[in-house]
A and B are shown apart, each in its own frame.
Chain A
Amino acid sequence: MVIECKHVWDHISGYLDGTLDPEVLAVVQKHLEHCELCSAILDSTRNILILTADERVFELPLGYSERLHARLEAEMQSIVPKKPDGG
């Protein structure tokens, strides 16, 4: 079975997540074997998702953790973490 490139693109996300049905996966995989275009799109998408998930993309503000724990310390005193009926 032959599939057009633009139909392969519809399955890129599912392919990366491993959620495609076996029949669809087989067709997509076969297409990828000989299509440079779709392979490059898949590779670039996978690469981009690895980069965007990298922890270093976003920096924490200086002192963030200290301020967070100081605020928790100050406010937790007056909070009882229980259900209203918890006694």
Chain B
Amino acid sequence: MTDVLAGRDEAQMIASILAGNSQVFHELIRPYERSVYVMALSLLQNEADAEDTAQEAFLKAFRSLASFRAEAKFSTWLISITLNEARSRLRRKNTVKMESLDEPQDEQGHISPALLRDWREIPSEAVERQEVRGLLQQAIAGLPPIYREIFLLRDVEELSIDESAKALGITVAAVKVRLHRARLMLQKKLAPQLKQINPKKRRWLPWS
């Protein structure tokens, strides 16, 4: 998550909310609106469900704010709530599919990366292109749920390995194994696709 939070005293804001100034909650969550939605969308793969889940997650956070422990980061706590909301919605929607989430199949197997001799750096501006965004979204959506979860927590929401382990209720060792597999799966899928987009042939427009 972003570091534009300098100067915010979240502990103070939370204390104020608990003292009855519930309006402060609007301000408290503003930096996290995007993260919560992206997390929900990536897990649920449906915009309407994701938006509703995001709202539910924020409401749940408000309701249980008194149980928030100051030793954790508020953002991490919020992402854990979102993960659980998204999981229970998935469970309600599709009980059969859910089993694959709890029972990883073949976690020992090795993943081989896509083999390349050279890699030409793709600049971040490339994500301004719909074509590139589509490839990235599809690759994330294509990860099996247990790998998608750890990838989102660690590489998108930037939780630490320990925080991710706590949020998922798994060991640190399991986090490392799953994360490794998730990352290699993404490399395997995306490296050949992104190599094709060949930025040198295109003119780079000054997107705003």
Residues of A within 8 A of B (CB): 6, 9-10, 12-14, 16-17, 19, 36-37, 40-41, 43-45, 47-58, 60-61, 64-65, 67-69, 71-73, 75-76, 79, 81-83, 86
Complex Cα spacing A86 to B110, Å = 51
Is B117 touching A81 in the complex (CB atoms < 8 A)? no
Chain B residues with CB under 8 Å of chain A are 17-18, 22, 25-26, 33-34, 37-38, 41-42, 47, 51, 54-55, 58-59, 62-67, 110, 112-119, 121-122, 124, 126-128, 132-133, 136-137, 139-140, 151, 155-156, 158, 161, 176, 179-180, 183-184, 186-187, 190-191, 194
CB within 8 A of A65: which of B18, B33, B115? B33
Nearest CB on B from A66, distance (A):
11
The answer to whether B194 touches A48 (Cβ under 8 A) is yes
CA distance A3 to B62 in the complex (A): 52
Q: Cβ of B116 and Cβ of A41 under 8 Å apart?
A: yes
Contacts of A44 in B (CB 8 A): 113-114, 116, 119, 187, 191, 194
CA distance A50 to B183 in the complex (A): 11
Contacts of B151 in A (CB 8 A): 52
Residue of A nearest to B47 (CB): A61
A80 to B195 Cα, complex, angstroms: 53
With A19-B176, A48-B194, A81-B66 known to touch, is A64 a contact of B51 (CB < 8 Å)?
yes
Which B residues touch A17, using CB under 8 A?
161, 176, 179
Give which listed residue, A9, A56, A69, A72, contacts B128 with CB less than 8 A: A56
Partner of B113 from the list A45, A57, A69, A82 (CB cut-off 8 Å) is A45
Interface SS of chain A? helix
Residues of A within 8 A of B17 (CB): 81
- Which A residues touch B124, using CB under 8 A? 50-51, 54
Q: Is the CB of B51 within 8 A of A61?
A: yes
Alpha-carbon distance between A17 and B164 when the two chains are bound, in angstroms: 14
- How far, in angstroms, from A81 to B61 measured CA to CA in the complex? 9
A36 CA / B117 CA spacing, docked (Å): 6
Q: Which 5 A-B pairs have the closest CB atoms?
A: A13-B180, A40-B116, A81-B65, A43-B119, A44-B119
| Residue in chain B with minimal CB distance to A56 | B127
Residues of B within 8 A of A57 (CB): 127, 133, 136-137
A51 to chain B, nearest CB (A): 6
Question: Do A51 and B25 form a contact, CB below 8 Å, given A10-B110, A57-B137?
Answer: no
